[in-house]
């Protein structure tokens, strides 16, 4: 491990991480093409995205711990193999049913590798350089989330929807080779995984995520509420099992680290905000102000550029400053950005002002992802890194699911009383309030000594 170049390893890890986040958003722009070429209705096409998010979010607690059990590099490579092969199957899909099934497997592959990237970064970089590394990781996360619609539109418009999946195949193969060459085999840190915990948490997470994700689509039917309550009850059973299991899937001791607890909550609010912002912005620009999809995408360029440029520098600063400073500034800027969108997204305001809101979102994004991840994971015990990473990423994904459902409900309420443009602006109040909770949470971050006794 002493001969490992951690920056090469980071490059390999971020390549796969970029791909799986890109695939969360890249498919949305292919909706008309999928309907036309596969003869599918809108409800079926929506499931192409929904099933990926569901399969991605549900197993994260398990796959994070499996990295501790079988080695993070091994799990990462296995996940990338699954993701790459299923991407090929997606591109070859002759029917919408085939495509949905392949996307389910693709989501499982994404879930297998996501927690491993954060765990490996925290193991191969010394504590005083993890902020810089997480800055790159954060920049990749931000760019991937924002680049999906832009790249998707370009690919679908030139070579066809199949290539939004085919492009993953050569990149996936290169990523696997880079990981095998540059990422060290750090070995296993957990003896085994408690089977009863796995059998409890998988259906629990499925019921919770599915109910929240599909609530708006089914009008919040009674059986969805029943499923949500059953899922929450199973989570209670799961937590009880963790107090008694000899080898718990989720060592509850991770929550004794206050920075981890606050950071996991705050990233859920960020996941909520990101997922709950893009749809109303795009509807405001296209339906409310009449912009084309390409022009609407260009309005988000300042956000992507500023986030990508600033994030690595913010990461370096995270190694030197008190954890609260950067995180509070980041969440504060996100609150300011949301407040600006509430004001700007109106019929009466020139649409060009959206560039200011986009830029403010970029600054906020840059100052949130890296400092939050660095502070949350920096002092976690090595044998708990996989489990902790699973919790952190699960928090982000569940926050995103809740955000999507909440913003959908808010848009439906507001659009009944005002124009589309004004309704989209008013809906920004929801992520604004949630981000205030994230700001309060990161204000509780505390500085920890550079060297701690484990």
Domain limits at 107? 1-189
With respect to residue 122, please indicate whether it lies within any of the assigned structural domains: yes
Asked if 224 and 101 sit in the same domain, the reply is no
Asked if 128 and 180 sit in the same domain, the reply is yes
3-state secondary structure of 190: coil
- Last residue in a domain, options 246, 261, 278: 246
For a pLDDT cut of 70, what percent of the chain falls above it?
96
Asked if 261 and 369 sit in the same domain, the reply is yes
**pLDDT at residue 448, as a whole number:** 61
Query: What are the residue ranges of helices labelled H in 92-161?
Result: 96-124, 130-158
User: pLDDT at residue 454 above 50?
Assistant: no
For residue 3, the tally of other CB atoms under 10 A from its CB is 5
User: pLDDT at residue 131 above 80?
Assistant: no
Asked if 157 and 198 sit in the same domain, the reply is no
Asked if 181 and 198 sit in the same domain, the reply is no
Asked if 176 and 279 sit in the same domain, the reply is no
pLDDT tens track for 110-128? 999 988 988 898 889 887 7
Asked if 272 and 222 sit in the same domain, the reply is no
Asked if 205 and 239 sit in the same domain, the reply is yes
Q: Strand runs (DSSP E) across 147-254, as ranges?
A: none
Asked if 282 and 236 sit in the same domain, the reply is no
Asked if 306 and 226 sit in the same domain, the reply is no
With respect to residue 454, please indicate whether it lies within any of the assigned structural domains: no
With respect to residue 453, please indicate whether it lies within any of the assigned structural domains: no
pLDDT tens track for 173-194? 999 999 999 999 887 776 677 7
**pLDDT at residue 370, as a whole number:** 82
With respect to residue 224, please indicate whether it lies within any of the assigned structural domains: yes
Please give the Cα distance from 190 to 192 (Å, whole number): 6
Asked if 138 and 215 sit in the same domain, the reply is no
Please give the Cα distance from 320 to 311 (Å, whole number): 15
User: pLDDT at residue 372 above 50?
Assistant: yes
Q: What mean pLDDT, rounded, does the chain reach?
A: 86
User: pLDDT at residue 107 above 50?
Assistant: yes
Q: Assess contact for 318 and 135: CB atoms under 8 A.
A: yes
Asked if 26 and 146 sit in the same domain, the reply is yes
Domain count of the fold of the chain: 3
In CATH, what number is assigned to the domain containing residue 94? 1.20.1250.20
């Amino acid at each position: 491990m002493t001969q490992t170049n951690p920056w090469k390893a980071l490059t390999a890890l971020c390549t796969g991480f970029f791909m799986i986040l890109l695939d969360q958003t890249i498919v949305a722009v292919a909706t008309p093409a999928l309907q036309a070429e596969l003869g599918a209705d809108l409800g079926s096409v929506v499931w192409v995205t929904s099933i990926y998010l569901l399969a991605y979010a549900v197993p994260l607690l398990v796959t994070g711990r499996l990295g501790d059990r079988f080695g993070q590099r091994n799990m990462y490579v296995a996940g990338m193999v699954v993701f790459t092969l299923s991407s090929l199957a997606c591109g070859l899909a002759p029917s919408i049913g085939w495509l949905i099934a392949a996307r389910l497997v693709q989501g499982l592959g994404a879930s297998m590798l996501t927690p491993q990237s954060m765990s490996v970064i925290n193991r191969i970089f010394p504590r005083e350089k993890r902020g810089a590394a997480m800055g790159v990781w954060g920049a990749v996360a931000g760019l991937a989330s924002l680049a999906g619609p832009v790249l998707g539109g370009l690919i679908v418009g030139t070579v066809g929807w199949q290539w939004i999946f085919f492009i993953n195949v050569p990149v996936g193969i290169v990523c696997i080779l880079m990981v095998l060459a540059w990422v060290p085999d750090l070995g296993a840190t957990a003896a085994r995984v408690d089977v009863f915990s796995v059998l409890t948490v998988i259906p629990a997470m499925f019921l919770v995520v599915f109910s929240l994700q599909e609530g708006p689509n089914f009008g919040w039917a009674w059986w969805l509420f029943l499923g949500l309550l059953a899922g929450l009850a199973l989570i209670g059973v799961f937590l009880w099992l963790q107090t008694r299991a000899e080898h718990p899937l989720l060592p509850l001791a991770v929550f004794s680290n206050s920075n981890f607890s606050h950071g996991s909550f705050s990233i859920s609010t960020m996941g909520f905000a990101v997922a709950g912002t893009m749809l109303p912005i795009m509807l405001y620009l296209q339906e409310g102000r009449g912009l084309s999809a390409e022009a609407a995408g260009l309005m988000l360029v300042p956000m992507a550029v500023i986030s990508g440029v600033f994030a690595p520098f913010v990461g370096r600063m995270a190694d030197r400053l008190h954890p609260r400073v950067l995180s509070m500034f980041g969440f504060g800027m996100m609150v300011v950005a949301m407040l600006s969108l509430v004001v700007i997204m109106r019929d009466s305001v020139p649409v060009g002002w959206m560039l200011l809101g986009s830029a403010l979102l970029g600054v906020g994004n840059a100052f949130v992802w890296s400092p939050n991840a660095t502070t949350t994971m920096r002092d976690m015990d090595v044998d708990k890194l996989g489990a902790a990473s699973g919790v952190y990423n699960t928090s982000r994904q569940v926050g995103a699911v809740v955000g999507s459902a909440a913003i959908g409900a808010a848009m439906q309420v507001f659009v009944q009383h005002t124009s589309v443009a004004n309704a989209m602006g008013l809906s920004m109040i929801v992520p604004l309030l949630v981000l205030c909770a994230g700001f309060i949470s990161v204000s509780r971050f505390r500085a920890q000594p550079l060297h701690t006794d484990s």
